[in-house]
Chains A and B, each alone.
Chain A
Amino acid sequence: MPIVSRNQTDALERLNARENPRPRIAVHKFSSCDGCQLAFINAGEALLEFAQLVDIVHFAEAGPMDPEAAVDIAFVEGSISTPDEAERIRAVRKNSRFLVSLGACATSGGLQALRNFNVDGAKAWTEAIYAQPEFIDSLDTATPVAEHVKVDLELWGCPVNARQVFQAVRQLLFGVAPVVDKDKLCVECKRQQHVCVLVAKGIPCMGPVTHTGCGALCPAFGRDCYACFGPAENPNTASLSRRFEGLGLLPEAVAQRFHLINSHAPAFRTEWLAWKERS
């Protein structure tokens, strides 16, 4: 399977055709916790170096404000969950040569995509939480950016980490397509020589189906991975679910494992539905 899709090549060519070698960049926020943009703000001195390498034209939390400016690279944090956001993301796409979805919310809908499976729709929840629900303007679903506009690079993670983001930035600065490792978390975990929590402790770890990138943090703490980086490439979710059942998890508990931070990602959604029907 080619690492770089034809679509991405087109976007890369557009990016590389920019006039000024120092790219103009924007960081946009949609429905999110602000945690992924912290990959830039928490970068310390690297943030200052980054500001030398690129021209930051819009990044509200860090200060620069120009949401409608045309840019070379747009980083998008958050999922699309209101009518206004659905409009705004189209404008962001129109104004950018290369669009990067930053983190779980932008890439899979994130935690708030849990509302998508609420049979009564978001309205019932609005009524439960807000005293005057008529004031709340919200879509029934929180969806990934790619369901609205074309995304040129997806960075997974809740949150993304700085290494991942700056690696992609550097590769784009060199004019090459960023390479994202889509392997299972287990590979990284083994490299770090952690004791397998699934095998040794019988804990229902999501590592075997989860996209690598966090650095195998949870197993390093002796706990189960909870799939905050979303599904890996070709995940064998059915096999892992049967293993969980073998550990004694009830179907409902198996279903819940897939129904958390990346519940709207197709591989996880399918597995959740299959086990929910059995429960």
Chain B
Amino acid sequence: MENRDIRIEVPVLARVEGEGALELTASDGRIETLRLRIFEPPRYFEKFLEGRGPQEVLDIVARICGICPVAYQMTAVQALEQAFGMQASPYVTQLRRLMYCGEWLQSHALHIHLLALPDFLGFENAIAMAGKHPDAVRRGLRLQRLGNELIRLFGGRSVHPVGMRVGGFHRAPYPDRAAAVLKELRSALADAEAMVAFTASLDLPDDEQDFVSVALRHENEYAMYSGRIVSDRGLDLRVEDYLERFQESHVAHSTALYAHLDGQPYLVGPLARLNLNHDRLSPPVKAALEATGLHLPSRNMFHSVIARAVEIHEVVLEAIRLIEDLNNDEPAAVPLTVKAGVGCGATEAPRGLLWHRYEVDAAGKVISAQIVPPTAQNQARIEDDLKCSLEAFGLHNDDDALRLRGETVIRNYDPCISCATHFLKVRVERR
């Protein structure tokens, strides 16, 4: 059929965080090989952590990713507390969940409006889109700013916040500032709710695929800060037992490590969470979701944008509840006590499950560290998805169309390449 040799070189993939490239060879309308090459330079974080004390760990892990530093701190802090045999108070847990709501809100609002929406509305980027759809862009920027404000209450700044410590926070948010954010959250609620119907009304491709969803599941909350690791194929695991079923491996074309569940690719992130935990959404969010007619579990990765909107609605409501319940008389931290041991932590970063393990000595210093970020877990799934979706899209399309579709597919995963070290050029070779 096709005997021409074609190579598409698209430099760094736009609108993802980090850098990479996609290479594929195709013949007779079928993809023979497909590789997602990741070329973010290695940064050796796990080695920097060795010999560092508890506060240094929190200050260092934030730097793995500028988009989701809170996720890294939330996961590390729980792992260290487990290693030290410490128990955070319910109040501290409440404060942490509130801060985490801020990160979900800013990250999802950024992704939907600035990174994903231009694909679905047909623009090169959000800056070009702002001319035709100023309201959508402004709404996104408002929600994103509000998420950042929420983080600032606890950390002084939204990128690499400084307020977290093992045991709790260096101080609780000032009540007057928290009250001001509460007021803004209440007035943003209408925007957040409207996001669900808006994203569901987008003309999203119909692309059903078979995949395994993995996420944390909490007994009564929509899992974010804690829970057991579950899948839609019956997996139900304690956080400590992660390595028994999940394996990391390294492939030639990437500086990111690939994680597999029992040797198979799997999905983490908003759609995986929604598939597994939609019964835990609060009633107003359930109602908004039901009104869209979206059938769950969904097997269409393009529904990720709706899942993010649903989660924006959920975290705005959750943040309102949490602030309303704050009792500022309690201490913002329990005292730090250290001992030798091993601790594991897992939370739901905006992009999906994030897992940490630390071995610490009697002085509380790290002997060894292991970090499995969401993008490393999604990488094998992204390659599978690209194979299916590009073949379904049709390899007869010209290279630019293939590149755009490939990029759109990858953006569904909101890959944070800095986190996984590691993002996109497209190279198609047709034989």
Surface stretch bound by B, among A9-17, A28-36, A143-151, A267-275: A28-36
Docked CA distance A38–B44 (Å)? 23
Distance between Cα atoms of A136 and B40 in the complex (Å): 10
Report A-chain residues with C-beta under 8 Å of the C-beta of B65.
Answer: 33-35
Is B338 part of the binding interface, using a Cβ–Cβ cutoff of 8 Å?
Answer: no
Q: Which 6 A-B pairs have the closest CB atoms?
A: A63-B125, A35-B66, A217-B156, A131-B250, A221-B170, A33-B66
Report the contact-size class of chain B (Cβ under 8 Å from the partner): 35 or more
What is the CA–CA distance of A82 and B38 in the complex, to the nearest angstrom?
14
Check: B249 CB closer than 8 A to any chain A CB: yes
Q: Is the CB of B160 within 8 A of A34?
A: no
- Alpha-carbon gap, A78 to B15, bound state (A): 18
The answer on a CB contact under 8 Å between A34 and B66 is: yes
Taken residue by residue from 30 to 51, chain A's Cβ proximity to chain B (1 for < 8 Å, 0 otherwise) reads as: 1111111110011011011001
User: When the two chains form their complex, are residues B418 and A41 in contact, meaning their CB atoms are under 8 A apart?
Assistant: no
* Other 13 A-B pairs with CB < 8 A, given A38-B67, A129-B42, A214-B156: A34-B66, A38-B159, A65-B12, A115-B47, A118-B47, A131-B250, A135-B252, A142-B43, A159-B159, A214-B157, A221-B169, A260-B56, A260-B59
Bound form: Cα–Cα A118–B51 in Å: 13
Residues on A lying within 8 angstroms of B by beta carbon are 29-38, 41-42, 44-45, 47-48, 51, 56, 60-65, 67, 81-82, 84-85, 110-112, 114-115, 118, 122, 125-126, 128-132, 135-136, 138, 142, 158-159, 161, 214-215, 217-218, 220-223, 226, 228, 256, 260-261
* Cα-based distance from A222 to B162 in the complex (angstroms): 10
Alpha-carbon distance between A30 and B43 when the two chains are bound, in angstroms: 11
Chain B minimum-CB-distance residue to A81:
B41
A228, B59: Cα distance in complex, Å: 10
CA distance A47 to B250 in the complex (A): 39
For B125, list chain A residues within 8 Å (CB).
62-64
Distance to closest chain A CB from B360 (angstroms): 16
Least CB separation from B253: chain A residue: A135
Given contacts A33-B418, A34-B67, contact A161 B157 (CB under 8 A): yes
Q: Quick one: which of A44, A67, A215 contacts B142, CB cutoff 8 A? A: A44
Q: Are A129 and B44 in contact (CB under 8 A)?
A: yes
For A126, the chain B residues whose CB sits under 8 A away are 42, 44
Q: Is B261 an interface residue (CB 8 A)?
A: no
- Tell whether, in the assembled complex, residue A221 and residue B163 are in contact, meaning their CB atoms are under 8 Å apart: yes
In the complex, which residue of chain B has the Cβ closest to the Cβ of A111?
A: B63
* B145–A61 CB distance below 8 A: no
Residue contact B15 to A63, C-beta cutoff 8 Å: yes
B210 in the interface, Cβ–Cβ < 8 Å? no
Identify the B interface with A (CB < 8 A). 11-19, 39-44, 46-48, 51-52, 55-56, 59-60, 63-67, 69, 106, 110, 114, 118, 124-128, 130, 137-138, 141-142, 144-145, 148, 155-160, 162-163, 165, 169-171, 249-255, 257, 416, 418
**27 A–B contact pairs at CB < 8 A?**
A30-B41, A33-B66, A35-B159, A37-B66, A44-B145, A47-B141, A60-B14, A111-B60, A125-B47, A128-B46, A130-B255, A131-B250, A131-B257, A132-B250, A135-B255, A138-B41, A138-B42, A214-B156, A215-B156, A217-B156, A223-B162, A226-B59, A256-B52, A256-B56, A260-B59, A260-B60, A261-B59
Knowing A111-B63, A221-B162, say if A125 contacts B249 (CB, 8 Å): no
- The distance in angstroms between the C-alpha atoms of A119 and B254, with both chains bound, is 26
B40 to chain A, nearest CB (A): 8
* Contact yes or no, B130 A35, CB < 8 A: no
Q: What A residues does B69 contact at CB under 8 A?
A: 33, 35
A interface secondary structure, majority: loop
Contact of B63 among A33, A84, A217, A221 (CB under 8 A): A33
With A42-B159, A130-B250, A135-B252 already in contact, the answer to whether A36 and B66 are too (CB < 8 A) is yes
B22 to chain A, nearest CB (A): 15
Q: Which of B11, B39, B145, B159 contacts A65 (CB 8 A)?
A: B11
Q: Give, as a whole number of angstroms, the nearest-CB distance from A117 to chain B.
A: 11
Given the known interface contacts A31-B43, A136-B42, A159-B159, the answer about A56 and B66 at a Cβ–Cβ threshold of 8 Å is no
Q: Please state if B59 and A222 are interface contacts (CB–CB under 8 Å).
A: no
Q: Are B157 and A217 closer than 8 Å at their CB atoms?
A: yes
Question: Nearest Cβ in chain A — how far from B254, in angstroms?
Answer: 8
Contact A63 B127 (CB under 8 A): yes
Q: How far is the CB of B250 from chain A (nearest CB, A)?
A: 4
The residue on A at minimum CB distance from B46 is: A129
| Chain B neighbourhood of A85, CB < 8 A | 41
Are A62 and B41 touching (Cβ within 8 A)?
Answer: no
User: Which residue on chain B has the smallest CB distance to residue A80?
Assistant: B41
